[in-house]
Chain A
Amino acid sequence: MPQAQGWRRCVAGRRGVHSWAMVIDCHVHIRTAEEAELEGLLEAADRAGVERLCVSSLGRVWSEFPTAQELEEAADDVLEACRRHPERLIGAVYASADHAETSVALLERHVANGPFRLLKLWVSQFMDDPRLNPVVERCIELDVPILAHTWVKATGNMAKESTYHHVVNMARRYPDMKVWMAHVSGRWEETGRVIRDYPNVCVDVSGGEPEDGIVECLVRHVGPARIFWGSDAPGRSFAVQMTKVLAAQIPEEHKQMILGGNVRRWLHV
C-alpha cells in the first residue's frame, strides 16, 4: 500500500472512518455531568468511531469505599449525562455491598423505572461478598448485566479488589447472573482459562497497556462471543484501546462482535 494511503487508512465508524455496524465502548467513566467534560468525551469518541458509550461514575472523588450518598450522587450525574446525550450514553448504577439497600433502590429507580442498562461494581467489596446477593438477584430479575472491576496485580491488589476467582465464585452461585469482568483481570494469559466453564461470565479488554496478543489469547480460550471492547476512558484513550481489537489476528466478523455486537446482545440496545 502506498505510504500516504496507509496514513489515512484505519478505523472507521460514526463519522465514516470504519465499516463496523456499531461500535460500543462498554467501559467509560465520567466524573461530573458538566457539559464540557461530556463534550470532550464525545468528541474523542467521534474521532475514534465510537457510537455509544456505557458510562458509570465512581463518584466525584473515587472513594475506595463510597458512602450511600456518593452512590446516589454518582447515579444523579450519570442520569443527567444520559438525559443530555440519550442517543450516545448508556447509564450504569454504581453499587456497593456496603450499601446493598441503597444499591437495590438505585436499580429500582434507574433501571426498573429509568434508562440505565447495567450495574457497576468497583473495589469496595469482593465480587463474591454475600451482601451483594440481593443486588445480584435484582439484576437477574431485571436482566441487567454487571460490570465488575477485576485485577490480579503482581504489585498487590487493593484491600477489597476482586480477582477473577471472586467473580467465578459468584457466577457459580448465580448461573443466571450476567457479569463481565473489566480489564481482562490484568493477568490475561490466564483469564480465559478461569472463566471458560462459566458461560455467564464475559470479559472486557479495557485499560492497561496495548499489549500485543490479548484478544487472540481470549478468543482461543472462550471464543469471540464473550469478549467486549471497552476503553476505560478518560484514563485511557478510545483510539489506543480499540487497537487491541483492530490489530488482533482474528477474523473481521469476530472484531465486529467484540467491538459492539456482543455487548448489544447483553444490554438489549
Chain B
Amino acid sequence: MFDFNVKAGHWPYRPVRGLDAYLKAMDEYGIEHAVVSSLNAVHYLNPQDGNEELAEAVAPHRDRLMSFAVLRPNFTGCVDDLAECADGLGMKGLVLYPNYHEYALADPALEPLMIEAARRGWPVCVQAGLEDPRRQFREHKVAEVPAAEIGDLARAYPDVPVVALGLKVGQPESAGDPLPDNFLFDTSNYETLGEMESAVERFGAGRILLGSNFPLFNPRANVDKLRLAALAEADREAIARGNARRLLGA
C-alpha cells in the first residue's frame, strides 16, 4: 500500500503520535510507502521551517517515506522555498492549506507556485477538511475548503494533478460535472456505509488515493476501509498504490 496522506509533527489541540509510531504501523498493516508532510507547517507563520524539520526526520527513512512541501503563497520567498524543497530537501509535491494560511485558491498569488509545481511535475494537494468543525473548541474556527474551489483550481491548471485531502462523502460531486481529469481525492475522511464501493462506481478508481491522515486519525482506519470494501481487485490495487505511483512516477 501507498499512503498518500501522512503528517508529522505536533498538533496544538491534543497529543499526537510521531513518525516512529507510523513506521511501526506501516509494518503492522503492510504499508510500503507513504507521502509525509509537516503538520507543524500548518501553524508556523513560515511553513518552510516545518519543511526543514520534516526533511531531517524523514531522511533516515527515504526508502519508505517521501516528503511533500507545505507552502503558503502569501509569504515572501515561497517560490524560492519550493525550489529549496525540491532541489535541497528532495521533496516531490506540494500541500496547500488555504483556510489555515488565509488565502483563496483563486488568489493570483498562488500562480507562481502552481506554475513551478507544473514545471517539476509535482502533484498539488489541497487539504479540504483537517478537523471536525464540531470539535474545534477554540475561538478561531477553521472552515473547510469547498470542493468546488478545489475543482476550479484543477481546471485552471490542467497539467497539475490536484489532490483534495479530507473530502467527505458527497463533496467530490461539488468539484464540478464533469470532474476535471486531473482532480483526485483521498480516502482519509470519506466515510459512510459502502463508501468505497459507491465512490468507485461514481468517480472511478483512478481518482482515489489511499490516505490515512495520520496522526490525527488512527493509521488503521483507512487500511481497513479499503481492505474490507467489496471492490474488484484491480480497483483496490489502484487505490492502494497504483494511482500514487502513477502520480509520482514511481
- Contact (Cβ within 8 A) B218 A247: yes
- Contact (Cβ within 8 A) A209 B217: yes
- Contact (Cβ within 8 A) B134 A186: yes
Cβ-based interface call for B84 (8 A):
no
A120-B27 Cα distance, complex, nearest whole Å: 41
Cβ-based interface call for B216 (8 A):
yes
Cβ-based interface call for B61 (8 A):
no
Q: Which residue of B lies closest to A233 (CB)?
A: B193
A187-B134 Cα distance, complex, nearest whole Å: 9
A3-B1 Cα distance, complex, nearest whole Å: 8
Q: Give every chain B residue within 8 A of A210 (Cβ-Cβ).
A: 191, 217-218, 221
A246-B223 Cα distance, complex, nearest whole Å: 12
Cβ-based interface call for A223 (8 A):
no
- Contact (Cβ within 8 A) B193 A237: yes
A32-B193 Cα distance, complex, nearest whole Å: 16
Please count the residue pairs between chain A and chain B whose beta carbons lie under 8 angstroms apart in the complex. Answer: 128
Q: Give every chain A residue within 8 A of B222 (Cβ-Cβ).
A: 240
Q: Which residue of A lies closest to B221 (CB)?
A: A210
The 8 Å CB contact of B193, one of A7, A10, A236, is A236
- Contact (Cβ within 8 A) A243 B220: yes
Q: Give every chain B residue within 8 A of A239 (Cβ-Cβ).
A: 224-225, 227-229
A211-B222 Cα distance, complex, nearest whole Å: 12
| Overall SS of chain B's interface | loop
Q: Give every chain A residue within 8 A of B224 (Cβ-Cβ).
A: 10-11, 48, 239-240, 242-243, 246
- Contact (Cβ within 8 A) A247 B193: no
Q: A10-B224, A189-B14, A212-B216 are in contact. Are A154 and B30 (CB under 8 A)?
A: no
Q: A212-B17, A247-B221 are in contact. Are A234 and B228 (CB under 8 A)?
A: no
A2-B217 Cα distance, complex, nearest whole Å: 24
The 8 Å CB contact of A11, one of B16, B132, B215, B228, is B228
Q: Give every chain B residue within 8 A of A248 (Cβ-Cβ).
A: 218
- Contact (Cβ within 8 A) A247 B220: yes
A233-B195 Cα distance, complex, nearest whole Å: 11
A253: min CB distance to chain B, Å: 19
Q: Give every chain A residue within 8 A of B127 (Cβ-Cβ).
A: none
- Contact (Cβ within 8 A) A154 B134: yes
- Contact (Cβ within 8 A) B228 A212: no
Q: Give every chain A residue within 8 A of B1 (Cβ-Cβ).
A: 3, 7
Q: A47-B228, A237-B225, A243-B218 are in contact. Are A153 and B191 (CB under 8 A)?
A: no
Q: Give every chain A residue within 8 A of B133 (Cβ-Cβ).
A: 154-155
Known: A1-B30, A155-B134, A239-B228. 15 other contacts (CB 8 A): A5-B30, A6-B28, A6-B30, A7-B240, A10-B223, A155-B141, A208-B135, A209-B216, A210-B221, A212-B217, A212-B218, A237-B194, A240-B191, A243-B221, A244-B218
Q: Please list the residues of chain A having a beta carbon within 8 angstroms of any beta carbon in chain B.
A: 1-7, 9-11, 40-41, 43-44, 47-48, 151, 153-155, 186-187, 189, 208-213, 233-240, 242-244, 246-248
A–B Cβ pairs within 8 angstroms, 30 of them? A3-B30, A6-B29, A40-B194, A44-B193, A47-B228, A47-B230, A151-B134, A154-B136, A154-B138, A155-B136, A155-B141, A186-B134, A208-B134, A209-B191, A211-B216, A211-B218, A212-B215, A212-B216, A212-B218, A233-B193, A234-B194, A237-B193, A239-B228, A239-B229, A240-B221, A243-B220, A243-B221, A247-B219, A247-B220, A247-B221
